[in-house]
Structure 1
Amino acid sequence: MFKLKENHTNTKTELIAGITTFFTMVYIVVVNPVILADAGVPFAQVFTATILASVVATLWMALFANYPIAIAPGMGLNAYFAYSVVGGHHGITYQTAFAAVFVAGIIFVILSLTPFREKLIEAIPENLKHGITAGIGLFIAFIGLRQTKIITAHPSNLVGLGDLHSASASLALAGLAITLVLMVLRLNGAIFFGMVITGLIAFFTGQLSFKQGFMSLPSLPEGLIVANPFTAMGDVIQHGLYAVVFSFILVTIFDTTGTMIGVANQAGLMKGDKLPRARKALLSDSIGTTIGAMFGTSPTTAFIESTSGVAAGGRTGLTSLTVAILFILAAFFGPLVSAVSGLAAITAPALIIVGSLMMGSISKIRWDELDEAFPAFLVILSMPLTSSISTGIALGFISFPLLKLVKGRWREVHPLLYLFAVLFFIQLAFLQQ
């Protein structure tokens, strides 16, 4: 099934690669419930939904696309869900927001079955893509700093330095230092093991306790959050969440496709400039997003941490199958994860470090061309300052074609981008809630 000999690998290598990938990305089962809890979603619901979505999407990648790429709810998208969609819109509950994710997932599945997804990727300028990635990175790093009170509200400058002697800030800074050392030493799973060590420090200093034990059967206290696609569509229409749906689709398309190509290229699986079985691979995140929304988690995406498994020799879907099985086993450690996620200082270093890695996209922006650089800068600046990923995307998409028009280079702009600019302008000018 996995064509191990054809891909110059073996079962042992694939299993080790799967274990490596799992430990580099398992932090998501802790961090995702922490972020979505700020939107009011119960911990147990998010924890189980995160694993369900990850297992379904990663199994699809393993069995149908045969790639060593793992899928799980994405960092940045969960922050957008919690702080921009639920936190930034009056009267929007997390149930309504999941309806928007569900609709985005269905549209995503349809787009993945057609050439439109590839055309949409081609339509967006490279500098805006890099700006979106960097802006999301800055935003989630800001969230990590704020959750641990390393930075706090300031009466005149909005934000300022917090009390670094507080237990939360001290533990977070210690965890950040430990994790960075592990990453510099190139330890596979550095973020996960950094959380483990930080958790041990918290336990021995009395900040962390395990009153509920370590293991239990997984549960879904809310059951199915979204079950009827027509009801979900009605919620989107009623609350005017068109820009939200579009933002979910847009960010996920760029994030997943870029990651898949990067991982496949590292593994030597590209055929020229094309990704074999691309359509089957691209269906994995869209199916995961749809399933995840039904049970209670934000959109799924391909994890760049999959490169660690590839570096360990992973070349086929057997690596992904191993990751999926390990996620299933993780579902039985809910009480342990719940205790850890209740202490923001343990998970904040992961947010800050992942944010810094995403900021690397800044180096790819053409800063010497103002009509290219300023829209990207606007995206990066506005995401953390407005606490809204969609607002950052909107401002970038509006300013880019305007500057090109002024410079007389309007032919360089894809017609779809003009359409997006008009839609985003209408949303900001007349539909902002």
Structure 2
Amino acid sequence: MENFFKFKEHRTTFKTEVLAGVTTFLTMVYIVIVNPAILSAAGIPFDQVFMATIIAAVIGTLIMGVFAKYPIAVAPGMGLNAYFTSIVATQGLTYQAVLGTVFLAGLIIILLSLTSLRRRLIEAIPAPLKFGITAGIGLFIAFLGLKMAGIVQPNTDTLVTMGDLTQPVTALAIGGLVITLVLMARKVTGALFFGMVITAVGGIFFELLHFESIFSAPPVPTLIDLGESVRGVVGNSLYTVVFAFILVTIFDSTGTLVGVSEQGGFMKQGKLARTKSATLSDAFATTIGATLGTSPSCAYIESSAGVAAGGRTGLTSVVVAFLFLVSMFFSPAIGAIASLPAITAPILIIVGCFMMEGLAKINWRNFDDAFPAFIIILTMPLTSSIATGIALGFISYPILKIATGKWKEVHPLIFIFAVIFLVQIIFFPMH
């Protein structure tokens, strides 16, 4: 193991790597609860999503740890799971058809990762659009959390209004949010996870949460009918959804990979060794996860907690993968926790806040940069569609650059995407 992970070269030890792995796992284990809670609302059986989430996380994280040898964990991404559910709810589609879009997106990401196309695609997308997409998804999932908690509710006059904060579930959600915010502010390792635990204790005290059992044998993984799923993609012309999944998955993973690598000192002269193996980790996790019943996977920014704890090699990731495997045996407890929105809603709200960081990097005084980002951020939560937000951003950006005489700054790919999105919105709108 010493020779494989090269502890001395990276100035680390076996103990340090194990502790770093435990730290990373505690900061991201919430996904095992939150992902099934969100995707089961789309009709996917809870146990199926539960196992798909864990298997995708284990596969992606092991590839990252064993082949890329980086202390970065991979799991189904936040935001994309909410988008998945919204597509099923608003488009009247089966979850099998939307899983088909995830599967195709995963295959395309694998192909892009095997070539230089993934890097070129990332370089072609202007920074304001990248930051706008991330922030838009942040508002999208934060709004979902507010609705789940009952903090906001539908209103015929104003679309949404304040909910009844005296309702037991809503009051518990607010209490859980406050507690988790305090833990985050105090920089407690695993704050999101421990916030959920404390909120769950509150749920038991107020008789809102009941456990029939804690442990059980893991549910049997279920494979979807890929033929039916792909036919659903073609039959419903869900190509924009496929593109949205590709784009956001690539942005999320690449941004995290670069950010954590910079933090850990893995970047050498702006370049990262074993990049292909690292980028293939989320691609394979996404593809395999789709066949089992979950939304796209990406590298997790929570990995930075493990790096801060001293993680420098792939052993950190291997430990994370092992702990995800262990969590398979807690499905009854996790199922009970996920069934109470007050426990999971605060996580969505706080993660949404994390995704606002890139807004500080947009030049808001430059209107032709600012407006495309703004329209993405505005329309994603209001239309409940990440794809629509992306489309409007890609259409408005080249129009404004042409109007200001800066069309040479726009990569040819952006013009192509703008035309495709314009045709799609006019002739094949997603209602």
TM bucket (normalised to shorter chain) is over 0.9
Work out the CA distance in 2 between the residues paired with 1:257 and 1:368.
27
Matched, 1:290 2:287: yes
Please list the CA deviations of residues 252-296 of structure 1 after superposition, one character each: whole Å capped at 9, or x if unmatched.
Answer: 011000100000110011011111111110000000000100000
Residue 330 of structure 1: how far off its partner (Å): 0.2
Residue 243 of structure 1: how far off its partner (Å): 0.5
Structure 1 residues 33-112: aligned runs within 5 Å: 33-83=36-86, 85-90=87-92, 92-112=93-113
Residue segments in structure 1 that go unaligned for 5+ positions in a row: none
- Is contact 1:341–1:347 with CA below 8 Å preserved after alignment? yes
Matched residue SS, 1:368: coil
Paired residue type of 1:281: A
Residue 328 of structure 1: how far off its partner (Å): 0.1
Residue 44 of structure 1: how far off its partner (Å): 0.4
Matched residue SS, 1:179: helix
- Is contact 1:102–1:226 with CA below 8 Å preserved after alignment? no
Please list the CA deviations of residues 45-101 of structure 1 after superposition, one character each: whole Å capped at 9, or x if unmatched.
Answer: 000100000000100001100000000000001011111x212223x1001111111
Counterpart of 1:26?
Answer: 29
Paired residue type of 1:45: Q
Quick one: which of 397, 402, 426 aligns to 2:394? Answer: 397
Work out the CA distance in 2 between the residues paired with 1:374 and 1:14.
44
Work out the CA distance in 1 between the residues paired with 2:229 and 2:257.
29
Work out the CA distance in 2 between the residues paired with 1:112 and 1:88.
32
Work out the CA distance in 2 between the residues paired with 1:87 and 1:274.
42
Paired residue type of 1:80: Y
Residue 232 of structure 1: how far off its partner (Å): 4.4
Structure 1 residues 118-129: aligned runs within 5 Å: 118-129=119-130
Residue 238 of structure 1: how far off its partner (Å): 1.6
Residue 217 of structure 1: how far off its partner (Å): 1.4
Matched residue SS, 1:87: helix
Matched, 1:315 2:315: no
Quick one: which of 329, 333, 348 aligns to 2:330? Answer: 333
Residue 361 of structure 1: how far off its partner (Å): 1.7
Counterpart of 1:224?
Answer: 223
Matched residue SS, 2:216: coil
Residue 30 of structure 1: how far off its partner (Å): 0.4
- Is contact 1:88–1:388 with CA below 8 Å preserved after alignment? no
Work out the CA distance in 1 between the residues paired with 2:393 and 2:282.
25
Work out the CA distance in 1 between the residues paired with 2:280 and 2:323.
22
Work out the CA distance in 1 between the residues paired with 2:83 and 2:419.
22
Matched residue SS, 1:235: helix
Work out the CA distance in 2 between the residues paired with 1:361 and 1:192.
25
Aligned residues: 427
Counterpart of 1:166?
Answer: 167
Work out the CA distance in 2 between the residues paired with 1:103 and 1:202.
40
Residues 256, 226 of structure 1: CA spacing in aligned structure 2 closer, same or farther, 3 A cutoff?
farther
Residue segments in structure 2 that go unaligned for 5+ positions in a row: none
Paired residue type of 1:254: F
Counterpart of 2:12?
Answer: 9
| Farther off after superposition, 355-364 or 142-151 | 355-364
- Is contact 1:141–1:351 with CA below 8 Å preserved after alignment? yes
Residue 220 of structure 1: how far off its partner (Å): 3.7
Work out the CA distance in 2 between the residues paired with 1:76 and 1:88.
16
Residue 147 of structure 1: how far off its partner (Å): 0.7
- Is contact 2:100–2:226 with CA below 8 Å preserved after alignment? no
Matched residue SS, 2:70: coil
Residue 237 of structure 1: how far off its partner (Å): 1.7
- Is contact 2:97–2:230 with CA below 8 Å preserved after alignment? no
Residue 235 of structure 1: how far off its partner (Å): 2.9
Matched residue SS, 1:173: helix
Counterpart of 2:155?
Answer: 154
TM-score by length of 1: 0.97
Counterpart of 1:425?
Answer: 422
Counterpart of 1:197?
Answer: 198
- Is contact 1:53–1:72 with CA below 8 Å preserved after alignment? yes
Work out the CA distance in 2 between the residues paired with 1:423 and 1:79.
25
TM-score by length of 2: 0.98
- Is contact 1:123–1:416 with CA below 8 Å preserved after alignment? yes
- Is contact 1:103–1:232 with CA below 8 Å preserved after alignment? no
Say what the alpha-carbon RMSD is for the aligned residues: 1.0
- Is contact 1:102–1:290 with CA below 8 Å preserved after alignment? yes
Deviating beyond 6 angstroms after TM superposition, the runs of 4 or more aligned structure 1 residues are none
Paired residue type of 1:219: P
Work out the CA distance in 1 between the residues paired with 2:315 and 2:91.
42
User: Once the two structures are aligned, what percentage of the paired residues are identical?
Assistant: 57
Work out the CA distance in 2 between the residues paired with 1:328 and 1:359.
32
Work out the CA distance in 2 between the residues paired with 1:303 and 1:266.
14
Quick one: which of 376, 380, 384 aligns to 1:379? Answer: 376
Residue 234 of structure 1: how far off its partner (Å): 3.3
Paired residue type of 2:223: L
- Is contact 2:216–2:331 with CA below 8 Å preserved after alignment? yes
| Farther off after superposition, 233-242 or 379-388 | 233-242
